[in-house]
Amino acid sequence: MWRRLVEPMGLLFGQMAQAAIQQGVALPLQNSTAAFTTVLLIDGDKVSGPMPVGAVPNTWLPVVQRLVSPVLDAGLPSGPLVMGILNTTPDSFSCAGQHLQAENAVHAGRQMVHDGAGLLDIGGESTRPGAQVISPQQEWERVAPVLEGLRHTLPDVPLSVDTRNSLVMERALAAGARVINDVSALEHDPDALPLLADKDCGVVLMHMRGTPQTMQEHTHYTDVACDVVRELGQRVDAAVAAGIARGRLMVDPGFGFAKTSEQNTALLRRILLLANLGCRVVCALSRKRMIGALTGVTDPAQRDSGTVAASLVALPFGNPLLRVHNVAAMAQGVRVWQGVYGA
């Protein structure tokens, strides 16, 4: 199914986009105020185009329809959402240990919501390259008090739990989490797919090869953007086949996971290829090594400006989740982008 992909190009926004759609020279891009006027047709390793949308052969129209059809919100508020990161780990690549105490994490979460976060993502296991492996029980002991504290103090704010372990997933959902964010796209734990098939939460499938300990050994791609979309498409198919409704699914291309800095940059440049999957998109670039490679900034905590600039590339989707450490900066960036490019 994923051999054929269509890459949207020639974007227009707001009133200009609407006028071009009415004139028949552009097509709407999913849930956004954007429209695309040209496309690349990708069949395996053969690429045709760029060509105007009106010149697309009839046999490709079902594939083009993937880009046009609105995607469901996965049970979350519509529109762009800033997703605040709350890592309750001592060894994360950025802000390590800052939220290890539950009280500190809850306070930080409240501040993130005040600053504009639409949801919070709580993680208890570091998945950076070479991270130390911990047990699911240890992970849950870190997550549980933070989840309980945020549920009590922010009852209306959606909470996500970043985990690849079914034990943590089940307990987190019972404690009020509304999203499960799995860096392994539900491959790590064989009990994860059947567990989530019986729930109604949102599910983030992230692209990664190997494990956090081995992923940097798996960075060979023929075409990183197409390969990532096709491999994520297979995980979407597996989730749907297991009984998870497509409308509950979100996809994350996995910046920094089994990818070099150059590959991350190439993937971001072509991020709109993810529209082929028909799922809400999560863009998780915050403070990552690729930002440092592009800017020369070695301290991850000083990469927030680059994070905002890179994350805005995903806004043409209309309803992306932008997963960041600095919520205030990202929320401000989104407001400016919407003011310039919105309807």
Catalytic site positions: 288, 323
Determine which helix (DSSP H) or strand (DSSP E) holds 282, and give its type and residue range: strand 280-283
Q: Which amino acid is at 181?
A: N
Beta strands in 44-130 (DSSP E): 46-52, 81-87, 119-123
Across-strand partners of 118? none
3-state helix, strand, coil in the chain (%, to 5): 45, 20, 35
| Measured distance CA(324)–CA(304) in Å, rounded | 9
Fill in the DSSP letter of residue 55: G
Residue 148 contacts residue 172 (beta carbons within 8 Å):
no
Taking the CA atoms of residue 84, residue 85, residue 88 and residue 90 in that order, the dihedral angle to the nearest 10 degrees is -140
Q: Name residues whose C-beta falls within 8 Å of residue 259's C-beta, 6 or more positions apart in sequence.
A: 219, 224, 267
Q: For residues 76 and 118, is the Cβ–Cβ distance under 8 A? A: yes
Q: Which two tokens stand for residue 240?
A: 């749907």
How far apart CA 148 and CA 10 sit, in angstroms, is 46
Q: Reduced to 3 states, what is the DSSP secondary structure of residue 28? A: strand
On the CB side of 307, how many CA atoms lie within 13 Å of its CA? 26
**Cβ proximity of 37 and 25 under 8 Å:** yes
Whether 82 and 334 have beta carbons less than 8 Å apart is answered as yes
Please report the beta strands in 132-197, taking only residues with DSSP state E, as ranges in sequence order.
159-162, 179-182
- DSSP one-letter code for 42: E
Its sign, for the CA torsion 268, 269, 275, 277, is: negative
